[in-house]
Amino acid sequence: MANQKQSGPEPPIKVSTINCIDLSNPDIGESVALLKQACLDCGFFYVVNHGISQEFMDEVFAQSKKFFYLPLNEKLKVLRNEKHRGYTPMFDKVLDPDNQVHGDYKEGYYIGVDVPENDPESEKPFNGPNVWPADGVLPGWRQTMEKFHHEALEVGKAVSRIIALALDLEVDFFDKPEVLGKPIATLRLLHYEDQFSDPAKGIYGAGAHSDFGFITLLATDDVMGLQICKDKDAKPQIWEYVTPIKGAFIVNLGDMLERWSNCMFKSTLHRVLGNGQDRYSIAYFVEPNHDSLVECLPTCKTEKSPPKFPPIRCSTYLSQRYKDTHADLSVYDKHQA
């Protein structure tokens, strides 16, 4: 018992204040200013009045729960494949290997842009047909998720236009065929089990990480859990909760946009702590076309601040990042026997 960690009093819960962007606001200048401030400060902001109805958002959450309620053997029939489509079991992802004793206390389901196997484009990483539960198991489930995938992409494009203006670029710099015309856009349904996280013991709903890509849209239920750390180099790190807002997306910038902007805009460390309640969220990862070249933006370099990173193709960058954080699929072979 002598070498057990002594836990002191629980620190007070800190709640972060982040900007809210109203996509229906006719004053685009105000939206750009709010978004730019958020991107310089913490890389997180809310988006409201985004065009997806509350009724439909509720339906997507209800359908997501129906899948996670299925028995494990049924879920394993649609296990994640090498194209990152399908079911990811508990502990499949290790986002913070230095501090986690095992993978994340969450299960998920990946849905991407559907590319038929006989299409030459399906040879590219992350491209291919989606994996779906049998219609008899979850009637109408596929149609709901395909509709949401399509509508969320339109929200992502709308946000990208404001980001472009905030970076002093043309409004369609990102929202054009060669960048977001054939995006690597991934919908991920998530269920965090009713566990208590304990950072002192390396137990997390999702370990501390920054997202890999361009931007992420996150819809959540009303259970608190998401935390952000505005200064990852601070000792000790200060973690603040992000309050769920019904119907809103929480948007965060990914490492790819930080790289693109020469570190002007921030990709912020975040994690999920469980509080003993089941928690459901829906993440939508927006990444550019496979062949998009991510190189320092013309408005983000000066003589005093030359490019910090060499150019890299989008798909090359993402492939390595996924490989670093996901379990090898062979660990699930025993479930398939």
Rounded Cα gap, residues 171 and 180, in angstroms = 13
On the question of pLDDT at 9 being above 80, the answer is no
| 11 within domain boundaries | no
Q: What is the mean pLDDT of the chain?
A: 87
Q: Kindly indicate the confidence band of residue 19, based on its pLDDT and cuts at 50, 70 and 90.
A: very high
Token reading at 115:
């590319």
What pLDDT score does 309 carry?
94
- Comparing 122-136, 237-251, 321-335, the range with the smallest average pLDDT is 321-335
In single-letter form, the type of residue at position 127 comes to N
Rounded Cα gap, residues 42 and 56, in angstroms = 30
In single-letter form, the type of residue at position 323 comes to K
Token reading at 202:
């390396």
More confident residue, 93 or 38: 38
More confident residue, 91 or 130: 130
What pLDDT score does 335 carry?
42
State the pTM of this model: 0.89
Q: Kindly indicate the confidence band of residue 336, based on its pLDDT and cuts at 50, 70 and 90.
A: very low
| 14 within domain boundaries | no
What angle (nearest 5°) sits at the alpha carbon of residue 144, between those of residues 138 and 150? 145
Mean pLDDT of 59-77: 95
Each residue of 228-240: pLDDT tens digit? 998 888 888 899 9
| 288 within domain boundaries | yes
Token reading at 44:
């997180």
On the question of pLDDT at 242 being above 90, the answer is yes
What pLDDT score does 267 carry?
93
Mean pLDDT of 50-70: 97
CATH number at residue 55: 2.60.120.330
| 293 within domain boundaries | yes
| 307 within domain boundaries | yes
Measured from the Cβ of residue 23, the count of other Cβ atoms closer than 10 Å reads 16
Token reading at 80:
């994640």
Rounded Cα gap, residues 144 and 138, in angstroms = 11
Each residue of 258-317: pLDDT tens digit? 999 999 998 999 999 888 899 999 999 999 999 999 999 999 999 999 999 999 999 888
Each residue of 161-203: pLDDT tens digit? 999 999 999 999 999 999 999 999 999 999 998 888 877 777 7
Q: Are 85 and 79 in contact (CB under 8 A)?
A: no
Each residue of 112-160: pLDDT tens digit? 999 888 888 888 878 889 999 998 999 999 999 999 999 999 999 999 9
- State which residues form the domain around 221: 20-334
On the question of pLDDT at 109 being above 60, the answer is yes
On the question of pLDDT at 325 being above 80, the answer is no
Each residue of 201-214: pLDDT tens digit? 777 788 888 998 99
| 139 within domain boundaries | yes
Q: Are 220 and 190 in contact (CB under 8 A)?
A: no
Q: Are 295 and 228 in contact (CB under 8 A)?
A: no
SS3 string of the chain?
Answer: CCCCCCCCCCCCCCECCCCEEECCCCCHHHHHHHHHHHHHHCCEEEEECCCCCHHHHHHHHHHHHHHHCCCHHHHHHHECCCCCCEEECCCCECCCCCCCCCCCCEEEEEECCECCCCCHHHHCCCCECCCCCCCCCCCCHHHHHHHHHHHHHHHHHHHHHHHHHHCCCCCCCCCCHHHHCCCEEEEEEEEECCCECEHHHCECCEEEECCCCCEEEEEECCCCCEEEECCCCCCCCCCEECCCCCCCEEEEECHHHHHHCCCCCCCCEEEECCECCCEEEEEEEEECCCCCEECCCHHHCCCCCCCCCCCEEHHHHHHHHHHHHECCHHHHHHHHC
| 15 within domain boundaries | no
The total of structural domains in the chain comes to 1
What pLDDT score does 328 carry?
52
| 10 within domain boundaries | no
